């Protein structure tokens, strides 16, 4: 009977859809007028119900008569060792989320009233790999003045996801200050205490990529359904939404859905919501609904504590004076702090020398020299032109085109504040101009920073890039 059904279905839908959605189905039994088929997952079942219910019903009736009925068995092996977990085709790169059923066959009768099979009562067995890094916990997230609010808000959210007024919780702060760590710690804490909660961590970039892929593969429904079925979504680096209007649109809908259902949204960003350029106003206004908490550069004490904890976790013992020395000298971000320590350890292994203060001093001298080597005007010019996507040599030309003038003036301004060059040298470098032009440029930029929010963000962005180099 099922074979006949398949033949009819095959004639009615595109070959690719048939292959994807019908070939994996197994016919189990026929009892009277009830045909039972087995599908590989709840997700599969949902898809069939949503897209092919009419076709299925008609086909079954054709074969079994008007009182013919179809029942589903939903099954997926829980262990991936059997090599056959059903992976949603949603995440593009293979290491994405997997929707797996946790249990052996569960009979499910067709119930036309169910809109979202993810929440069939008593059947909440769907398990999604939350994509969390287990090393990012609250336990090893050192508390300090720099992160007190964000950390305790995060803790509150973890205790009661969706149940606080911190929804969304937006964590913002500069590079390497612990946004990802804290956001993931919340996810890990929720999973620890409430393993049944569906938690998903996704970087904004990956989300955008998945969206583009789902457009290409015609799986938008899967994509949206997947995220809308979550209890907690952690989206990292939402500033990367800038300029991606369609993806913002989709996220807006997902956000609204989750928020309405009392589900928790956690966001991170390198800027506070009010400074996020390139994001749609309606999305930004949502981001401001809950709590925005910032992460600052940790003070010396906190930096020392972070290093100690890290060394302890790695089973490494270092003289306190060395740790203090490193913490004292690397003071802009935690990632660099850890980086300095790692190269210190590497160097000591390489040279077969114990790490003492002398070695730390010698090593750090290189480290600091490397990171803060003098910024050149060429480099500034290159960064600015890359940022505004204008050809590098144009800045030195005589053109008065608006975007070139802007790039030129910002280059001059940054050269004045970030190099030791004189006004005369700067003017000469940027196309043989005199020092009054440089003064004028700097004034213009300063004025614009005061009055034009977007402009200020541009300059800040470039400055950040300069500092990172």
Nearest residue relative to ligand ADP (C-beta):
178
- In whole angstroms, give the CA distance from residue 251 to residue 258: 10
- In whole angstroms, give the CA distance from residue 56 to residue 100: 24
Report the nearest approach of Mg ion to the CB of residue 300 (Å): 23
Tokens describing residue 181: 């760590």
Residues at the interface with ligand ADP (CB under 6 A) = 140-142, 147, 173, 175-181, 306, 334-335, 338
Q: Which is nearer to Mg ion, 134 or 350 (CB)?
A: 134
Task: Tell me if 147 contacts Mg ion by CB under 5 A.
Answer: no
Taking CB within 5 to 8 Å according to partner kind, which of ligand ADP, Mg ion, none is near residue 394? none
Report the nearest approach of ligand ADP to the CB of residue 20 (Å): 37
Task: Tell me if 240 contacts Mg ion by CB under 5 A.
Answer: no
Taking CB within 5 to 8 Å according to partner kind, which of Mg ion, ligand ADP, none is near residue 38? none
Report the nearest approach of Mg ion to the CB of residue 311 (Å): 22
Q: Which is nearer to Mg ion, 179 or 263 (CB)?
A: 179
- In whole angstroms, give the CA distance from residue 416 to residue 147: 34
Q: DSSP letter string over 454-465?
A: HHHHHHHHHHHH
CA distances from 357 to 166, 321, 354 (A): 45, 7, 10
- Please compute, for residue 121, the number of CA atoms within 13 A of its CA located in the half-sphere on the CB side: 2
Tokens describing residue 254: 């997902």
- Cβ atoms 102, 125 nearer than 8 A: yes
Of the ranges 172-180, 258-266, 378-386, 449-457, which one interacts with Mg ion (CB under 5 A)?
A: 172-180
Q: Which is nearer to Mg ion, 179 or 310 (CB)?
A: 179
Please identify which residue in 87, 131, 147, 180 interacts with Mg ion, judged by CB under 5 A: 180
- In whole angstroms, give the CA distance from residue 55 to residue 7: 12
Report the nearest approach of ligand ADP to the CB of residue 399 (Å): 38
Of the ranges 6-14, 171-179, 252-260, 414-422, which one interacts with Mg ion (CB under 5 A)?
A: 171-179
Report the nearest approach of ligand ADP to the CB of residue 142 (Å): 4
Strand partners, 232: 199, 264
- Cβ atoms 153, 274 nearer than 8 A: no
- In whole angstroms, give the CA distance from residue 430 to residue 281: 38
Nearest residue relative to Mg ion (C-beta):
180
- Name the residue among 186, 178, 213 with its Cα closest to residue 309: 178
Q: Which is nearer to Mg ion, 180 or 381 (CB)?
A: 180
Taking CB within 5 to 8 Å according to partner kind, which of Mg ion, ligand ADP, none is near residue 181? ligand ADP
Taking CB within 5 to 8 Å according to partner kind, which of Mg ion, ligand ADP, none is near residue 334? ligand ADP
- In whole angstroms, give the CA distance from residue 447 to residue 449: 5
Residues that bind Mg ion (CB under 5 A): 179-180
């Amino acid at each position: 009977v099922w074979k006949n059904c398949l033949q009819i279905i095959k004639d009615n839908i595109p070959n690719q859809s048939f292959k994807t959605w019908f070939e994996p189905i197994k016919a189990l039994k026929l009892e009277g007028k009830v045909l039972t088929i087995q599908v590989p997952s709840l997700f599969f079942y949902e898809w069939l119900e949503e897209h092919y219910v009419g076709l299925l019903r008609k086909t079954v009736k054709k074969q079994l008569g008007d009182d013919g009925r179809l029942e589903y068995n939903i099954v997926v092996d829980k262990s991936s060792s059997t090599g056959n977990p059903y992976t949603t085709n949603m995440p593009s790169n293979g290491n994405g989320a997997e929707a797996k059923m946790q249990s052996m066959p569960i009979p499910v009768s067709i119930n036309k009233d169910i809109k979202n099979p993810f929440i069939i009562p008593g059947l909440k067995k769907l398990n999604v790999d939350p994509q969390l890094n287990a090393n990012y916990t609250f336990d090893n997230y050192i508390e300090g003045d720099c992160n007190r609010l964000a950390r305790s808000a995060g803790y509150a959210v973890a205790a009661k996801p969706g149940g606080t007024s911190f929804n969304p919780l937006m964590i913002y702060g500069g590079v390497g200050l612990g946004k990802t760590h804290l956001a993931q710690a919340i996810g890990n804490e929720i999973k620890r205490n409430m393993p049944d909660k569906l938690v998903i961590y996704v970087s904004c970039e990956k989300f955008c990529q998945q969206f583009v892929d789902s457009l290409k593969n015609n799986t938008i429904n899967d994509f949206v359904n997947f995220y809308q079925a979550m209890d907690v979504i952690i989206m990292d680096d939402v500033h990367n939404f800038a300029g991606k209007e369609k993806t913002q649109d989709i996220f807006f809908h997902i956000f609204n859905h989750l928020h309405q259902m009392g589900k928790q949204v956690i966001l991170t960003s390198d800027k506070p919501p009010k400074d996020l350029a390139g994001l749609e106003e309606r999305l930004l206004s949502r981001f401001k609904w809950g709590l925005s908490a910032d992460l600052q550069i940790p003070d010396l004490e906190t930096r020392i504590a972070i290093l100690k904890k890290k060394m302890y976790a790695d089973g490494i013992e270092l003289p306190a004076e060395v740790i203090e020395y490193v913490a004292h000298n690397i003071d802009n971000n935690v990632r660099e702090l850890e980086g300095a320590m790692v190269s210190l350890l590497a160097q000591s292994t390489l040279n077969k020398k114990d790490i003492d203060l002398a070695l730390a001093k010698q090593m750090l001298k290189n480290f600091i020299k490397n990171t803060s080597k003098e910024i050149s005007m060429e480099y500034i010019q290159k960064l600015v032109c890359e940022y505004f996507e204008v050809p590098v040599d144009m800045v030195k030309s005589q053109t008065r085109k608006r975007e070139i003038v802007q790039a030129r003036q910002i280059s001059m301004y940054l050269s004045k504040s970030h190099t030791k060059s004189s006004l005369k040298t700067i003017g000469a470098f940027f196309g043989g101009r005199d020092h009054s032009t440089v003064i004028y440029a700097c004034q213009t930029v300063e004025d614009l920073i005061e009055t034009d929010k977007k402009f200020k963000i541009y300059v800040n962005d470039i400055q950040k890039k300069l500092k990172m180099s």
